[in-house]
Structures are given as C-alpha cells and as structure tokens.
Amino acid sequence: MTRIVSGFAGSLALQVPKSGTRPTSDRVREAIFSALDARDELRGARVLDLYAGSGALGLEAASRGAATVMLVERNAEAAAVVRKNISALLKAAPKDAKPKIEVRSTAVQTFLTGSGSTYDLVFIDPPYDLEEDDIRDALLKLEHRLAPHATVCLERSTRSPEPVLPPGLALDRRKDYGDTALYWITPA
C-alpha cells in the first residue's frame, strides 16, 4: 500500500493504478523527502511531477508544504487515480493553506513543449523501459522551465546508463537504493 509519509496528510492511503505504473518504494520516497527537507526545498515550492503514476511524489511534496503541484500522466486510468488521490489529499489540507494541485493527462513531451511555467522542484520517475533519448529530450525541454535554484530528482534503474544532461544542467549527485538510482540534477 502506498501512503503519504509526512505532513498534513501523513498516513493517507493513496490509490495506485492497477497496471502500467511502477510506484516509488517507501524507502526511496523517504530518502528523497529526507534530503529535500534537510535542504528546506519544499516549503512554498512550485513542483512538477512527470510520469506521475499514482501522484505519490507530487502529493507527498504538497503534504509537506509545496504551494503548487503539477502532475503529468499520459495514461488515462492512472490520471483518473491521480485525481482521486488529489481529492483525498485536499480534504486533509488545512483550510487556510490548501496547495494548488492539477493533473494533466498528456504526454510529458507535449506538456513540456506547451508549458511556460517555471518550477523549483521536478520529479522525473518514468517507466524503466523508457528510451534514454526520451529522457534526454525531456531534460532538454525542462532546462528552460527551471528556477535558478531548482532541483530535479530523476529516478532510473541502476542498470540504465547515466542520463546525458544538456549543457544547462549539472549532476549534483547520484545515490543508489537497491535497483533504483536517484540522480539529483541542478541548473549549471
């Protein structure tokens, strides 16, 4: 079962699509958010969650203080699950501090081409079988949508090659958790 770990919606159970997604493990989500909390990167942040699946990463950020969260998920079934999870999370939110949360049911490339918004924090958690060219293209399109102090957290299989970053992005660090590799990327 996938749950929100902390914040105003801590312990809230999230629905997960029946197929087509690979939820981030509790251990990896806890590591991601411990690092973000230590850097104080969540409070008031503008968050983008690409390949959202159930929305767990973006919704965890909202629960912990992000001001806005945009979730992008192409799969219609998964996007419907995300909408249900958003509704449940917003019911738990304090009336005076409800985050703004949206879901877009579109391909990541389409969203990044059409979006003009900038983000402080971006989660990229694609299916492990997504081609490396697609990851590189997403990072290239994302590069101009990042605030100067932004953080991008890319989740891949440890068997996948290290992502090729466009000139405007730099690898801050890599951390492995079992079969999962997390790449922390920042503007160069």
Q: What is the CATH number of the domain that holds 85?
A: 3.40.50.150
CA distance 49 to 100: 13
pLDDT for position 102: 97
CA distance 28 to 116: 30
Q: Is 157's pLDDT higher than 90?
A: yes
pLDDT for position 20: 60
- Domain enclosing residue 65, as ranges: 2-187
Query: Helices then strands (H, E): number in the chain?
Result: 5, 9
pLDDT for position 21: 67
Q: Which residues contact 179 (CB under 8 A, 6 or more apart)?
A: 157, 158, 159
Strand partners of residue 177: 180
Share above pLDDT 70 across residues of the chain, in percent, rounded to a whole number: 98
Placement of tokens 């909202």 in the chain: 62
* Structural domain total, the chain: 1
| pLDDT tens digits along 165-175 | 999 999 999 99
Selected residue with higher pLDDT from 46 and 24: 46
State the average pLDDT over residues 104-112. Answer: 96
What CA dihedral angle connects 43, 115, 149 and 186, to 10 degrees? 120
CA distance 28 to 86: 21
